Structure formats: structure tokens, C-alpha cells
Amino acid sequence: MQRLAFVAILLALFTGSAVAQPQWLTLPPTPSLPPALHSGMAPVNGIKIWYAEFGQGEPVILLHGGLANANYWGEQIPTLAAHYRVIVMDSRGHGRSTRNAQPFGYDLMASDVIGLMDFLHIRKAAIIGWSDGAILGLDIAIHHPERLTKVFAFAANSDPSGVSDIAHSPVFIAYIARAEKEYEALSPTPHEYDAFLAQIEKMWATQPNFTAAQLASISVPIWIVDADHDEAIKRENTEFMAAHIPGAGLLLQPEVSHFSFIQDPRQFNADVLHFLEHVKGN
């Protein structure tokens, strides 16, 4: 019976018919991006980073999670672009961006973000990050605080021990299967997903390794945010980070999971707008 229930949930996730399921057990379709004001490929650190820009105002950079791509922010961009200059990018090796032989690592990927900012002549920006993107926001806050105004870090972990076992999560099983199809559709190396996944999983197993002292050194205004039903991040690690970063806000979004921004975009967008409008930046 347990196996049948598991299969039923998985089928519902793929077909979008999980009407009776709580939203934290659903994986809504990947959004599409609205038309961009500008987009292109930026030469950064020996690779090419795909980016797109929307709206005008103070710059806000949206950083997606591991295995994903910038399309996942499609529900946030229209709301944010009404007030801000919004920049999305595909992390190295993800989506439309290229990669080289350098091993994946958060320090390297954070330097890619800085490189794109330099390419776009952005001195400082706010970062809205999801999962790996939130970890990149923390990495930049530790090593390059002068480039940030503030950070909204959703579903980050400070070290590998903060990650739960997702091997039997129907939502993550569906997500990883979807990620493979999206990689094949978008990547300049469409047949190398298995090698790409292996490299990302190696990074996840060993990084990040933010110490309590490094977290305590963060001076950028920051909210540590997670979902109350996050499948991947342990609650105690979220609370650990918020407790060790001076002045950090702690927010738990209700009735959502690691994919809050597509499960309940209205709630997610309202929280991000409140953060951007009411938390004083550097």
C-alpha cells in the first residue's frame, strides 16, 4: 500500500493532477520568463554566463538553485520588475550557461556572480537566492560584502550536515527528472547531464563549510528564510545560521516546501517585496 501511495503521488506531480495534495507536496510546472529588456552571454571566468534583465530601478539579482535555471523565477520577475532592475542568470553549467574543466564550488560560482556584476557595471545589488543561489548570496556576503546591499537567502544550508536525505522525496524525484529534461533542452552540452549531475552532487557532499565565525562576520542586512515543509534543509541548520548572523531576520514560510516560489508565488513575492522595501540596505 505504501508503494502504491508513493507511485500515485509521483504520477500526480508529473501530470499536475495533485489537486487534493497539500501544496508542499506538489511540483508546479516550471514558469516561463517574460520578455527581457536585455539578454545575452557574458564572458566570465573563462566561461559564458547567460543573463537577462527586466525592469528599472535598484538592481536585484535572482540566483536559482542547483540543477535548475533562471526560468524558475518566472513567477517573481513581473512583480519585482515593476519596482526594480531585475537580473537573472543561469549559474555555470546550468541552463544556457557553459562550464569548463574547473570543479564546481560555491566560491567559484560566487565569483561568477561578481563577474557578471562587473560585466553589467553593477557596483552593488540585492540578492534573492534559492538553495544553491542562497548559498552563493551567503558566500558573497562573507567574502565580498562591499558588492551587496542585502540578501534574502531562501533554503540555504551552512554545511552538508544541514541537508536532509531527499532520496525518497517524491517532489525531489520529480524535480531531478524534470531537471534532466530541462538541461537537455537548454544546455550547450545537452548530452552531458549525468556528468554534470555527478559534479554537482560531489559539491553538495562536501560544500559549503561556513563556520560560525564566518557567519558572525556577515554585516550585510540579511533574512534567513525557509519553508515549514522543506524536504531538503534541516530546520536546526536554518535556525543556526539566523542565530549566528548579527541582526539576521528569520522567516519560515507556511504550507510550502523547498519550491515555495512556484508553490505559492503570491506569498513568496510578498515576503520578498517586504524585505526589499522595509529592510535597510548597505
Q: Give the domain CATH number at 138.
A: 3.40.50.1820
Domain count, the chain: 1
Q: What's the domain range around 129?
A: 38-278
Q: What is the pLDDT of residues 112-150, one digit of tens each?
A: 999 999 999 999 999 999 999 999 999 999 999 999 999
In the prediction, which pLDDT does 13 show? 53
Residue whose C-alpha cell is 513567477 = 75
Q: How confident is the model at residue 190, as a pLDDT?
A: 98
Residue 23 falls inside a structural domain? no
Residue 11 belongs to some domain of the structure: no
Secondary structure (DSSP) of 100-139: -SSPP-HHHHHHHHHHHHHHTT-S-EEEEEETHHHHHHHH
| Domain-embedded: residue 2 | no
For residue 252, give the amino acid letter: L
Residue 266, domain member (yes or no): yes
Q: Has residue 54 been placed in a domain?
A: yes
pLDDT at 20: 74
Determine, yes or no, domain membership for 32.
Answer: no
| Residue owning grid cell 534532466 | 180
What average pLDDT score do residues 212-233 get?
A: 98
Percent of the chain with pLDDT over 90: 93
Residue 154 lies in a domain: yes
